[in-house]
Amino acid sequence: MSAILKNESCAMRPMTGVDLGEVMRIELAEYPFPWTERIFADCLRVGYHCWVAEVDGEFAGYGVMSTGAGEAHILNLCIGQTFQGRGLGRALLLHLLDEAQAKGVDTVFLEVRPSNAPALALYDSVGFNCIGTRKDYYPARFGREDATLLALALCPPQ
């Protein structure tokens, strides 16, 4: 799997602690209930697959994924507002899926808000399928919001 952004130089690289300021800048801008810097630091500390997307050298987004026991879980995928709608979310998602496949993962899981139509469309276009609902999973402005649980079966590497 791969994605190419037209007219832009997109690079994926491992996230480091130095990136946490930029990660938090985007996280706080894009999510009404953001992760804390400590959560990202813990993800780095325990060895999750944490990646940064850059466009022409500018910090554009990030993704976090855990793997184990033949499964992967995409925990966070976010693209900064100025880079949305340019295929970068797809590129980062496909990069994470490539990483999962290289680790021998059979199935990738993730949760998404049902109200997040752009994310649902992206995941559907890559082949994720709805396998359930997690009731009251996300904090919401007035109470809680369910999560749609998605899964994607990966083909073994050739």
Of the candidates 8, 54, 71, 111, the residue annotated as catalytic is 111
The question of whether 111 is a catalytic residue gets the answer yes
Of the candidates 48, 62, 123, 138, the residue annotated as catalytic is 123
Task: Report how far residue 82's alpha carbon sits from residue 2's, in angstroms, rounded to the nearest whole number.
Answer: 22
The question of whether 137 is a catalytic residue gets the answer no
Q: What is the pLDDT along the chain (158 residues), one digit of tens a residue?
A: 444 455 568 899 999 999 999 999 999 999 999 999 999 999 999 999 999 999 999 999 999 999 999 999 999 999 999 999 999 999 999 999 999 999 999 999 999 999 999 999 999 999 999 999 999 999 898 899 999 999 999 987 66
CATH 3.40.630.30 fits 10-153, yes or no: yes
pTM metric for this prediction:
0.91
Task: Report how far residue 104's alpha carbon sits from residue 145's, in angstroms, rounded to the nearest whole number.
Answer: 33
- Read off φ and ψ for residue 12, nearest 5 degrees: -110, 135
Contact present, 41 and 20 (Cβ < 8 Å):
yes
CA-wise closest residue to 33 among 116, 94, 121, 149 = 116
- Strand bridging mode 129-140 / 143-153: antiparallel
CA-wise closest residue to 147 among 117, 122, 118, 110 = 110
